[in-house]
Structure 1
Amino acid sequence: MLTIGEYHTLIIDRDTEPGLFLRNKNGDEVLLPNKYKPESFEIGEELQVFVYLDHDERPVATTLTPKVKLDEFAMLKCVDVSHHGAFLDWGLEKHLFVPFAEQAYKMEVGETYLIFCFLDEESQRLVASSKVNHFVDNSILTVKEFDEVDLIVTNKTDLGYNMIINDIHLGLLYFDEVFVDYKTGDQLKGYIKKIRSDHKIDLTLSKFGYKSIEPNAQKIYEILKDNEGFLAYHDKSDPKAIYNRFNISKKAFKKAIGSLYKDKQIEILKGEGIRLKDQ
């Protein structure tokens, strides 16, 4: 059986009036309509396609690339609303449906939403949900402390930003870890800072330990050289100013200049800034 909402590498079986019929090694077939047929092909050749349901709810293949596939999160724009629900542009001819019951709040045409794409068991159709927190689970964790992870911003809370971790778990990035305003759907790299006894996860954007000091120290050293050997930043500088200039936290900045100072690369001018030794 060909899974709906996934890519498949299939064999071109035969050329017919409506298009090419493709099959897998088990003999499961799907039609690739003429509008997606390659200019040149050979029977028996392999072709990678995406399989979904057409307007008549029949499995069909396409060579187009969707913006999201089964069991993935994505930011999609609402292009239509009916009395059944909303419809999102996901890059294919037939829009992705969001039932009213799966809308965190009523969707509006022209707005963009973070959604999760899943297979509705009752209708066996691909649908989307903006209730994204329903599709993350921390009961069985696949990450450990200090791991580098992929993050998607979901929403801002009183403490920080909720983040989807590796498309599986939910974590929190506290405000004291960031100095920019993130928007829902922003994607970034981060690290597992702490896993609590209740499986709640604290996140950080800074690498840990020695590995984080050397790259940051090198970055600051290069910026110093490009600025005539002096920068008006020190341990009393505003954390946001440090982040805007170096794209690192104040804690990481202090570690980095401490490393440079220990290696006798810089002087720390109290209340003024830092200067290269040879300047």
Structure 2
Amino acid sequence: MEELLGRVATGLITDENQDYYYVQKNGVTFQLAKAEGAHQLGESVEGFFYVNQQQHNAFTTVIPKIVVGRYGFGEVKSVRRDLGVFVDIGLPDKEVVVSLDSLSEIKELWPKPGDRLYITLRVDHKNRIWGELATENIILSLFKRLPQDGTWQNKEVTGTVYRLKLAGTFVLTDDFYQAFIHPSERYREPRLGERVTGRVIGVSSHGYLNLSLKPRSYEVIDNDALMLLTFLERAQDHKIPFTDKSDPEAIKDQFGISKGQFKRAIGHLLKAKKIKQEEGYTILLEK
């Protein structure tokens, strides 16, 4: 049976009951839900062979996107620290497990529900179907050649983390370009399978994008600026009767900071285009 599981092949419908047809292949019988469509006894039908969550031999004509020898992205649905992560490949009654042996020893870097992994299937000698992470060579075969048109700098790109290494984080972008995040360009290490959006800070001579997950320096908002944003969000009409020209004592009484601190915070918010100043008011632009 091992040679059938996780694969697409044609079987013969040999029996039925109220809920299932029974499909036979190589002397092994699998159940096919009648809810998938009508068939006749003696009919040959193509589908996917597997063992479902209830440990029944199952067959479906709805071919999953990932089979043995075919790779694709599957969404992580749940995590078991003693086993691995469960991934949806498109089956109605089964998720496949990517074993903890394939994942980082640092469990904080394991995928979480909603992340996605690029995997294929493998079947072990006990007829268990596992998800298997794509090898480096498989991933490399996906990448498109990076256009050398000089338009990448500061562009935002989104992609999926596919490899974690001491040197940094490797990303497959949504447009199938390779990208890399050096540890100095992130505040924390992204998880395997996590979706990230980064800013292009350079193009490597090896043909991949260098990304930063950190904001530009002028986008960094300090505690004083965050405090002012909170005031603005709670103020009537999202505006306050203070500007960088307001009286220092009034600023101190209202916000508990010096005029110098206030002006720096206002400057950060103006550069970040979160506020404007007019007619003696500071006004929130983003609500």
Decide which structure has the larger Cα Rg and report it: 2
TM range (shorter): 0.3 to 0.5
TM-score (norm 2): 0.45
